Structure 1
């Protein structure tokens, strides 16, 4: 069902919802470049002011998936994506990237969808490059990496070519839009399980409900109340969980897992080199704060990836993978395997 631009803007002004089919059509037109930059800008700002609904976000994610270059992995039910919306302004090192090696060492199959840093000093793609990983792989090579190493990294620009039509509009607007929360909802491998960090507490409940509509299996959406799109050490962390079709919301604390509370000041970085070093330190069991926050987030990933029966068991398995060296070995294995495909 199509909808006119005038009707879209009218509904935004009047804070009325754009229905699923209408939003799917509208987003498809925007991604396809069928709307002028001026109209796209007006719509994106209007949606932001109105506040996007769960159904609007769901329809937009489905439209973006339609235009994505897919990675057809068998047994998507076993896959976990672990990424964040970014934009939290915390300037911490790439915690979820470090945590994926720990989770993979514990047996979770990772299909991580990531990009370069926009508001941060280092995105997951930046730090993986710094660590020597080849991030520009074809879908068949990503599938092979997952099968052989338990990890696949999907560099967003290679899978979201259609976003080129809207990227300049987003850049010129310069404020957050619906696209800031769509990235983690459009995993090219359609991973059924997910650990997603969000930049605002309201998104904890919103994103987990969107992922339920997108037919995800086991999901944890998290917001560290210290102001992080990760589980935090210096505060409680809000959690939205989808499991067996049921959504629950609760908070966790570092002390629940025998992890001391500390500020994130010690894990802030100013460039990707510093981020890479903290990843190495955490995987080598050297830096206390870095190691602890990686283990906490990896524990959540292990639980979301259905390799633990509880978060507590997941955190225990994460510390074990760090201490026995298997997490560090997983990084080396993944790095070496991706370089087989270097041009």
Structure 2
């Protein structure tokens, strides 16, 4: 590890990119914790200063995948947003997942407790509001919920343990690292389609080359809200479509579809995120949030080749909100994700009842 650190840590002018094989070696040392915490932190900082190459990013993605539980559960789309969460925007992806699943497209979501640099609201915070403890999910319950509804949520630090083991170092550094990209591309369900969020348009080309190497059938890279995969509804969004080894710029303007809507100011909390999500799925939300979900769902439905155009996707998705299909699917998923907790509560009740009975007999 020391020799690799010398190559990436010579300063902005002297440092060089690692070869793919060297990067695999560094990734193995870090993910398997044979590198010391000091070496790991130094590597992350040096890469941050130098900027990770495509080969280095690929090596960390491949290494994370090898150490993760991955199952070919769904022929659908992976929605890969930032694990450091949201602070000022609506989580349109969460509501969109149920609209898409109701439209016949399976969806994979994944995340963890909040991370630097943003420390925002995460999907696990939303699950907590629903009474679902992401840390206790394991594998069986999310997989069963996905089989019943088409929506899979993966607690990433459970399915890819090295991410949990490295959390402390990442928190101490307080800045983004190579893992901020790699953890979004573990591809837990072997999805052929990908919606991937980025913050800066300067990384479009590099991410396009990376996604080509990772062999997705079709991907969309989105410079979305707070660096997420969510298209804006009040202004155009820059995206890259990656397909067959080629990438093309596509600016998606909500005005083109008659959906452009001013977004009301909201003091977002996990509870508020869930409340608006449920309003959207019931067809009762502010028009801006409903339109944002419809736009994102329609574009993803088209990307995944379920419809011939985004316009057709819009009408398909709107019908599944208006009919109540998306809401019913959400309710079924929510209950399926809580099932184990119910069983555990029953067992605890039995244990308490048994203890009380034994106490009475003793008395």
Task: Give the TM-score normalised by structure 1.
Answer: 0.90
Describe the superposition over 1:266-314 as per-residue Cα deviations: whole angstroms up to 9, x where unpaired: 3x44321011001011112222111111111111221233212223322
Structure 2 residue aligned with 1:116: 113
Equivalence for 2:82: 85
Q: Secondary structure at the match of 2:194?
A: strand
Q: Flag the 1:243–1:101 CA change in 2: closer, same or farther, 3 A.
A: same
Q: Is the 8 A contact 1:3 1:22 kept in 2?
A: no
* Contact 2:235–2:260 (Cα < 8 Å) also in 1: no
TM-superposed CA distance for 1:30, in Å, is: 0.8
Distance 2:262 2:87 in 1: 14
Give the drift of 1:92.
Answer: 1.5
Equivalent residue, structure 1, for 2:182: 182
CA distance, structure 1, for counterparts of residue 3 and residue 192 of structure 2: 32
Alignment match, 1:277: 275
**RMSD between superposed Cα atoms in Å:** 2.4
Residue of structure 1 equivalent to 2:165: 165
Whether 2:256 is the aligned partner of 1:256: answer yes
Q: Does 1:150 align with 2:150?
A: yes
**Do residues 102 (structure 1) and 84 (structure 2) align?**
no
Matches within 5 A, 1:53-68: 53-68=53-68
1:1-343 aligned within 5 A = 4-10=4-10, 14-70=14-70, 72-74=71-73, 76=74, 78-87=75-84, 90-118=87-115, 119-133=118-132, 135=134, 136-224=136-224, 227-229=226-228, 230-263=230-263, 265-266=264-265, 268-286=266-284, 287-342=286-341, 343=344
CA contact (8 A) 2:69 2:159 kept: yes
Distance (Å, rounded) in 2 between the aligned partners of 1:307 and 1:313: 10
Gaps of 5+ in 1: none
The structure whose Rg is larger is: 2
Contact 2:138 2:159 in 1 (8 A): no
Q: Structure 2 CA distance, aligned partners of 1:88 and 1:154?
A: 15
Q: Distance in 2 between matches of 1:115 and 1:338?
A: 16
Q: How far does residue 88 in structure 1 lie from its aligned partner after superposition?
A: 7.7
Deviation at 1:121, TM superposition (A): 4.3
Q: Deviations over 1:244-284 (max 9, x none)?
A: 44322221101111102424x53x44321011001011112
Of 4-13 and 125-134, more deviation after overlay is shown by 4-13
The question of whether the paired residues in 1 share the 8 Å contact of 2:89 and 2:226 is answered with: no
Equivalenced residue count is: 337
Shift of 1:120: 5.0
1:175–1:138 CA distance, 2 compared to 1 (3 A): closer
Runs of 4+ with >6 A deviation: none
Compared CA separation, residues 211 and 198, structure 1 to 2 (3 A): same
How far residue 90 of structure 1 moved from its aligned partner, in angstroms, is 4.9
Tell me the secondary structure at the aligned position of residue 340 of structure 1. Answer: helix
Which region of structure 1 is more displaced relative to structure 2, 155-164 or 88-97? 88-97
Q: Is the deviation greater in 312-321 or in 5-14?
A: 5-14
Contact 1:2 1:21 in 2 (8 A): no
Deviations 1:17-70 (A, max 9, x none): 111111111011011111122221111111111111112111110011111122
Residues in 1 aligned to 2:125 and 2:181: alpha-carbon distance in whole angstroms:
20
1-structure distance, mates of 2:138, 2:87? 32
Deviation at 1:124, TM superposition (A): 1.0
Distance (whole Å) between structure 2 residues aligned to residue 306 and residue 146 of structure 1: 21
- Supply the distance in 2 between the matched residues of 1:73 and 1:216 (Cα, whole angstroms): 14
Structure 1 residues 269 and 180, CA gap change in structure 2 (3 angstroms)? farther
User: Could you list the runs of 5+ residues in structure 2 that have no partner in the other structure?
Assistant: 345-363
Question: Contact between 2:85 and 2:121, CA under 8 Å: does it hold in 1?
Answer: no
